[in-house]
Amino acid sequence: MKRALIRQSLPHVLIVALLIGIVIVGSRRDLTEDAVPRMLASPPCRLDSGPCRVALDRGGWLELTVTPRPVPAGTPFVASLALSDVDVRQVELEFEGADMNMGLFRQVLAPRPTGGFEASVTLPICATGAMRWRTRLVVRTAGETLIAPFDLTTGEPSRAGG
């Protein structure tokens, strides 16, 4: 009797498991499907000196700002993204040490009620008190992933190095 019940239930259990798998894979593909990565040609810009704006070929723009400036070492700072004519699904910042391997730090920016995106970011302290970072703005839209590189120094810029 027990085996008959298992034999009867097994196809239903397998179908439910398959449907759950399809839902999970489908929801993950939604963010990445057709999201062709495109490196934006941004003018050289230092986030610790002021806002960095990148013009998009179809007329829109992205502008990343960090405050306070200069960015103190080991202290939270705010990263804000203002934008125009971009249908954004997700925004992240990636930070890697320019002169020292500090690992990869990712920070997701949350939508602001007034528009744009924002996050509080805290990066690790370098032994010298200053650190140069390669920063990438990663903006996911419905059809592509836009990547814009910037430079950022935290701490005392004259001793930057890590």
Residue 110 pLDDT: 98
Residue 34 pLDDT: 56
SS3 66: strand
Task: Express each pLDDT in 100-135 by its tens digit.
Answer: 888 999 999 999 999 999 999 999 887 777 899 999
Residue written as tokens 């008959």? 4
Task: Express each pLDDT in 21-69 by its tens digit.
Answer: 565 555 444 444 557 898 997 678 899 999 999 999 888 999 999 999 9
Residue 88 pLDDT: 94
Q: Does domain 36-159 have CATH number 1.10.3720.10?
A: no
Say which DSSP state 46 is in: B
- Give the pLDDT band (50/70/90) at residue 97: very high
